[in-house]
Amino acid sequence: MKDFSKLEALMDVNFKNVDLLRQAVAHRSYLNEHPDFELHHNERLEFLGDAVLEIIVTEILFHRFTQTSEGDLTNWRASLVNFRMLAAIANELGIDKYLYLSKGQFKDKNSKARQIILANAMEAIIGAIYLDQGLRSAKKFIKVFIISKLDNILKNQLYLDPKSKFQEKAQEVYGVTPHYKVLSESGPDHAKEFIVGLYLNDELISQGKGTSKQEAQVVAADQGLKNKDW
């Protein structure tokens, strides 16, 4: 059995029922290979943790920023609770080494799928803390590990998605609205891959690759920001 004491110390949470924490990091794939595992997978805890996270972040933003519009608060909340942010926090906590995964999932360390697994585990851990310790402890954990990221998000406007950020900068600097063009697409219908170009007028600024046009546009915009040093 894995020892969770170091993780508990890092999170500053001493579980009364450590099985809740164990379940929070148990992926469905592990149970498929280990039907004798005595706990359920983490999806129900993830469902609960997602709701707890959303209401606590919403409440904190609502009371802290009393003059901020609903639209901005929505963007700020999204930047705090999206899978990339949660996966990054999970990596800071070293959650990866505690996960119960199938052999195939265990080997797949750097994929987007692993990042989603880590983000889901973070939500499940929040659900586990809520069940074991109550709302006050869940709120403390969220403040320390998630709300603490807000200053950096606001300072660097990370709440803007890359497409919005690139468009704002392009209009500010050049007075031009960027546009996107599909340069190529390949693969069968169920596994398409798109390459999209980002343009200012007729100038190709960057390219992005993705499994959908939207994903490729976001990648292109992100690369465009780097190319322009924005």
Instruction: Please identify which of the residues 46, 50, 132, 222 carries the catalytic annotation.
Output: 50
Q: Which residues contact 95 (CB under 8 A, 6 or more apart)?
A: 7, 25, 118, 121, 122, 125
Q: What is the CA radius of gyration of the chain?
A: 20
Question: Cα–Cα distance between 28 and 26 in angstroms, integer?
Answer: 7
Residues in the chain: 230
Is 123 a residue of the active site?
yes
Which contacts qualify for 166-173: CB closer than 8 Å, 24 or more apart?
Answer: 166/198, 166/221, 166/224, 166/225, 166/228, 166/230, 169/225, 169/228, 169/230, 170/200
Contact by Cβ (8 Å): 26, 36: no
Instruction: Please identify which of the residues 54, 92, 108, 123 carries the catalytic annotation.
Output: 123
Q: Which amino acid is at 217?
A: Q
Is 202 a residue of the active site?
no
Neighbours of 29 (CB within 10 A): 18
Residues forming the active site: 50, 123
